[in-house]
Each structure stands twice: as C-alpha cells, then as structure tokens.
Amino acid sequence: MCGIVAYIGPREAYPVLIKGLHRLEYRGYDSAGICLLNDDIRIFKCKGKVSDLEDYVAGKNTSGTIGMAHTRWATHGEPNTINAHPHFSQNRTIALIHNGIIENYMVLRSELKNRGYIFTSETDTEVLVHLIEDIMISEQVAVEDAVRIALNQVIGAYAIVILARDSPDKIIAARKGSPMVLGIGKGEFFVASDATPLIEYTDNVVYLNDEEIAIIERGKDLKIKTIRNQSHTPYIQKLALSLNEIEKGGFEHFMLKEIYEQPRSIFDSMRGRLHIDQGNVTLGGIRDYEQKILNAKRIIITACGTSWHAGLVGEYLIEDLARIPVEVEYSSEFRYRNPVLNEDDVVIAISQSGETADTLAAIDLAKSKGATVLGICNVVGSSIARATHAGVYTHAGPEIGVASTKAFTAQVAVLTLLGLLIAQKKGTIPNSRFQKILLELDSIPAKVERILQLNDKIRDIATIYKDVKNSLYLGRGYNFPVALEGALKLKEISYIHAEGYPAAEMKHGPIALIDEHMPVLFIATRRGIYEKVISNIEEVKARKGKIIAIVTEGDESVKNLADHCIEIPDTEEMLIPLLATIPLQLLSYHIAVMRNCNVDQPRNLAKSVTVE
C-alpha cells in the first residue's frame, strides 16, 4: 500500500517522479504528493490521483534534479491534502514519504508534543519526520544518523525516503517490512516501491533488506548501513522486467490485458517444469526441500484473498493426487491464533505481490515453530520470496490491475505441478493417469485461448445483469473455490454484492435470498458430482432465480435449465479451475466497465496489502 519513488541524478526529477507515480498508482490512489529540492525544498500535494497532482502542479516551479514522490492508500487519517505525503518537519528543513504503519506513533507523538512539536496531519507518518529533526537538533548529527537513531525507536513497518534542505545532494531511504528497490544508473539513482518506475533507466537494482538504510549521494557510491550502524555491501542484481510487460499494449485496461495474457502466463508458469517428453515434473526452486515435502505429515497453505482461493484449489489437488492432508489458512487468522505447528509441517505461502503483511507474519510464525516454509510468489525478489526457505515463482509477469487474474491461474498451475510432482515421487498415482493429466495440463493454454473467444457473448450477458444489486456464485468440488473467486472478482471491481458458496450449502441459508431478481451463477461442468449440481440448479430454478451457468462444451442438461450458458472445453476435473475462472473474470470486467467503475483501481483497494 502506498507507492514511493525518488530520484537523484542529472535529469530533471519531476518527469521521472510523475511517471514513476503513475506506474505505482495501483498501490494506492487516495492522494499524491511530490517534493523537489534545489535551493529550497518544495512540496506539492493534493487529494486524488496522480493526474490530479499533475493538474495541481501545472505552471508551478518543478525544477530540480533531486526529488521524491508518493501515492497514498490511507491508513491513519482520511484521504485529504493535509494527510497526503510528503510531510514536512516542524522547521520545514526535512521532508519525508512513508509506506507502512508506525505502530507506536501515539507514544512518539505525545513525547514530541511535550517537546513543543505541532502536528498538522492525522497520520502516523508525521511523527517520523519530527523525530528525525528533533534528533538532528538535539544530538547535532547528520540526517542519515538521525534517521538511524530514530528508526531504533520505531515499532512497525516502513519504507521511507527523506530529503533534507541542508543536504541538497543526498537521499536517505530505509525499509522494514515494506518493499523498497534501488535502481543504479550511470551517475544517477532511483528509489521505488517496486521496479516498475526504473526499468527504462537501468536494470541494475539493489533490494533493500529489513532495517537497512541507503545513503545515496550525488557522485558517490551507494552506501548501506543497518539501523545498528553496521555497513553492508550493496548486492547489485540484474532486473528481469521489460517495459512492454508493464504497459497496456492496446487494451483499454490492465485487467483486460492480464485476462488475455493467460494463455501465455499459464504456459510460462509451467515452462521448463512440465516435461511431456520425459513424462515428469520438476520444480527447481524447491528441489532441496523435496524430501521434506514427501515426508510431510501435513501441508498448510497460507494466503489472503485471491491467493487464498488458489490455495483452496491446491488443497483439493494435493490431497487428491498426493494423499497428504492439507489445511488452508487465512494468513490474517493463522498469525494470531496460536496454531499447532512443528518441524514435520510444510507451510506454503502463496502471494502474487510477495509483500502481503499478514502472509509475511504467518511465514515468520511458521519459521519460528520450526516448520519448513515454501513460497509461491509472482514478484521476483519480493519480501515473501526472500523470507521463505525456498519457493517457486509463478512467472505470470507483472500484474498491475488491482483485481488479480493471471496471478490466480498461474498459482493454480504451479500448485497443480506441485501436486503432480509429489504424487509421482510418492507413487500415489498410477503412471498412466499421471501422464494423462500431464498431457491435459499441457493443453490448458490453448483451451484458455478458446474461452477468450467467448468474450462477445460474455459481454452480452453482462449487459443483462449489470444493474443487479446481489448475486450468488455456486460450485462444488474443484468449482467451489472458483465460485468464491468469481464472486470476489465481481464485488471488488463492480461493487455488486456477490457471495460464493458451495452449491449444496445453499439450502442451509442462502436459498432464502432467491427470487426472480437474483442471478445465480453456477459452475456446472460435466465432471465430478455434476448430477448433484444439476439438482442444485433445479432448486434455484424452482424459486425463479436467474441462472447463468458455466458448462462443458456440448452440455444439454444444464442448457435446458439455465437462462444463459457459457460453454468451456472439457478437461480433467482438477484442471477445471484453470478454465472456468476465465469467463468469470470477463463477466466481472464487462459489468464493471458498463457501470463506469474504475476497473484497474477499484475504490478503497490497493494491489499490495503491506499493512495488516
């Protein structure tokens, strides 16, 4: 949550910062602000999006070759101009931007108030900037030392950048818990929440570790110190990200582009791992932990939101294929509920961003109890990827639309590979069946391609249902997580209330909601307990609910009952989530567009949830 970007070098900072903010806007879009430094230190900020900031700044003095900028997702204090970042210190000599939460800000605030500091905002962030100034004055130290001393008093998560009027050629940046990457160009440096603002300038990056402070000075080498004043040598890595991966490429929205990328992203998530010729699966990232997984008494999957839904598919898959008990936990619950965990457990943390605060905390907890913790992450070099013992990248490419689409299918594809790998090694599946599933998995990208051709038909269905107030999504077996995911997609981008349920659970409550105004979306593919799902459809039909059904190509039984059918290719039951999710993503997308919702940046949401 919140995006930060900073620049120092020979270029004018303003265009670099604004472009960077646009790239990071998916992280929060309540308010935005910028700080530029040359003879004086200037802050421009306003409520609203980055484009509002651009309008506000138009015609003002934006010169300067050093600066920083912020796009906010509000935690403490409403989204308004005063609470927007950057924040000035009392004497206006220091400015600061922050992503994260200062948990002990109340204590620090009252101490600073007692020392005469006047707070202008309601944010937790403002304590940091006053504290740094207070230390500089009272201890007569340089800004980087004041930052270090201040951070030793802070409890919470932060990625911060500080500019000081009296150090016009210096940027100080630090992180703990919130992400931060430094870009190193020729005579210039970049700081950002992720690598997207810097890819067109450099591919040399340093991922700052927790409790590290970067001292970035014009014309000098990058210096890194810990908050305990130990020097670290910067570890420079090559960035594997290209510009066209983070642009819309002719699509109206990132979400649509990402939906359409799925044949490729699913393929990429399996590339070099699914070996049809050799009839096996390899997952290089977890090879050293294979034995541990094979011996695991149980597997615990922990994640949030859409990634949790992928985890649920993973539970069905791994139990089905590999016969190891699997539990799926919301990270936010798991981390606080004193779970029984021990060294025989394997915990798998799933996260697109690799930055989700609750999932990171769940990982720490699992590690502290001696469990082996593996990650399934999309963002290379992210905090979760680094916090886990080992892991598998999903390789779906950058996902910029706030609603997760291609990351979900890539997560499910990787979980399928994992289930197959364990099953083959444990011998819990006959080889003929294993090979059949392998072949079928290989054909999934082409089948997704065929489903995408149904876009016009799905748009027509969206036209009919775009004004409904409520909806139900029902599925059974592997299609239950699909129902949950379909409902989440609809509610988060179109603001229509949608609930996902196991279809048979409907009788235990939700059926009371059904009348002629209630659309009910069934995932009723012809595998598993298909006949039972048909009975559930009958029950809705008898109560005059409107039925939209995702069915297998050629299905006749459901067609006779449903108001609308979307036909998808047949596949193995366990692979259906990879296909059935696609029309649900498209349906949500079209409904949201027709309702004039901001599809890529839905209200109140942010892509990367770095606060709990």
333: number of Cβ within 10 Å: 13
Establish whether 597 is a catalytic residue: no
* 492 vs 555 by CB, closer to ligand F6R: 492
Using the contact rule CB under 6 A, the part of the chain among 37-45, 106-114, 353-361, 495-503 near ligand F6R is 353-361
Query: 3-class DSSP state for residue 562?
Result: coil
Min CB(591)–ligand F6R separation in Å: 15
* 109 vs 253 by CB, closer to ligand F6R: 253
Instruction: Report the Cα 83 to chain-centroid distance in Å.
Output: 25
d(CA 589, CA 258): 11
d(CA 352, CA 377): 5
Using the contact rule CB under 6 A, the part of the chain among 215-223, 267-275, 347-355, 437-445 near ligand F6R is 347-355
d(CA 69, CA 241): 22
Min CB(601)–ligand F6R separation in Å: 12
* 134 vs 355 by CB, closer to ligand F6R: 355
* 329 vs 573 by CB, closer to ligand F6R: 329
Q: How far is CA 495 from CA 27, 132, 488, 547, 590, in A?
A: 19, 42, 10, 20, 13
Residues 6 or more apart in contact with residue 411 via CB below 8 angstroms:
307, 310, 311, 314, 350, 352, 376, 378, 394
Helices (H) and strands (E) in the chain, counts: 19, 27
| Of the candidate residues 31, 65, 75, 356, the single one contacting ligand F6R (CB under 6 A) | 356
Phi and psi dihedrals of 137, rounded to 5?
-75, -50
94 membership: H or E segment, kind and range: strand 94-102
Q: Which of 374, 385, 349, 377 lies closest to 288 in space, CA to CA?
A: 374
Residue 194 interacts with ligand F6R (CB under 6 A)? Answer: no
Using the contact rule CB under 6 A, the part of the chain among 72-80, 82-90, 333-341, 352-360 near ligand F6R is 352-360
Longest CA–CA separation in the chain, Å: 81
* 83 vs 196 by CB, closer to ligand F6R: 196
Beta partners for 164?
94
Contact 598, 346 (CB under 8 A): no
Using the contact rule CB under 6 A, the part of the chain among 86-94, 106-114, 300-308, 336-344 near ligand F6R is 300-308
Residue 307 interacts with ligand F6R (CB under 6 A)? Answer: yes
Establish whether 2 is a catalytic residue: yes
Min CB(409)–ligand F6R separation in Å: 12
Phi and psi dihedrals of 236, rounded to 5?
-85, 125
Count of residues that bind ligand F6R according to CB under 6 A: 14
- Give the dihedral of Cα atoms 13, 18, 23, 28; nearest 10 deg: 120
Using the contact rule CB under 6 A, the part of the chain among 45-53, 233-241, 302-310, 415-423 near ligand F6R is 302-310
535: number of Cβ within 10 Å: 11
Using the contact rule CB under 6 A, the part of the chain among 34-42, 240-248, 305-313, 436-444 near ligand F6R is 305-313
Using the contact rule CB under 6 A, the part of the chain among 278-286, 298-306, 426-434, 442-450 near ligand F6R is 298-306
304: number of Cβ within 10 Å: 23
Which of 170, 176, 447, 607 is catalytic? The answer is 607
Contact 473, 498 (CB under 8 A): yes
Min CB(263)–ligand F6R separation in Å: 20
| Of the candidate residues 321, 609, 610, 611, the single one contacting ligand F6R (CB under 6 A) | 609
Beta partners for 391?
375
Which of 2, 35, 46, 377 is catalytic? The answer is 2
Q: Which of residues 557-596 bind ligand F6R (CB under 6 A)?
A: none
d(CA 429, CA 426): 8
Min CB(307)–ligand F6R separation in Å: 4
Query: 3-class DSSP state for residue 559?
Result: coil
Residue 359 interacts with ligand F6R (CB under 6 A)? Answer: yes
By beta carbon distance, the residue nearest ligand F6R is 305
Instruction: Report the Cα 87 to chain-centroid distance in Å.
Output: 27
| Of the candidate residues 306, 494, 525, 601, the single one contacting ligand F6R (CB under 6 A) | 306
* 485 vs 573 by CB, closer to ligand F6R: 485
Contact 192, 138 (CB under 8 A): no
| Of the candidate residues 352, 409, 424, 494, the single one contacting ligand F6R (CB under 6 A) | 352
| Of the candidate residues 145, 261, 492, 600, the single one contacting ligand F6R (CB under 6 A) | 492
d(CA 482, CA 237): 37
* 89 vs 359 by CB, closer to ligand F6R: 359
Q: Which of residues 199-238 bind ligand F6R (CB under 6 A)?
A: none
Half-sphere exposure of 604 (CA within 13 A, CB side): 5
d(CA 82, CA 121): 6
Residue appearing with tokens 């000098």: 220
Half-sphere exposure of 125 (CA within 13 A, CB side): 29
| Token pair of 188 as six digits | 């210039």
Q: Which of residues 399-428 bind ligand F6R (CB under 6 A)?
A: 403-404
* 269 vs 356 by CB, closer to ligand F6R: 356
Min CB(588)–ligand F6R separation in Å: 10
* 35 vs 304 by CB, closer to ligand F6R: 304
| Of the candidate residues 20, 183, 305, 375, the single one contacting ligand F6R (CB under 6 A) | 305
Using the contact rule CB under 6 A, the part of the chain among 206-214, 238-246, 348-356, 495-503 near ligand F6R is 348-356
The two beta strands, 274-275 and 497-502, are unpaired
* 13 vs 300 by CB, closer to ligand F6R: 300
* 345 vs 485 by CB, closer to ligand F6R: 485
Binding-site ranges for ligand F6R (CB under 6 A): 304-307, 351-353, 356, 359, 403-404, 488, 492, 609
Show which residues are catalytic: 2, 607
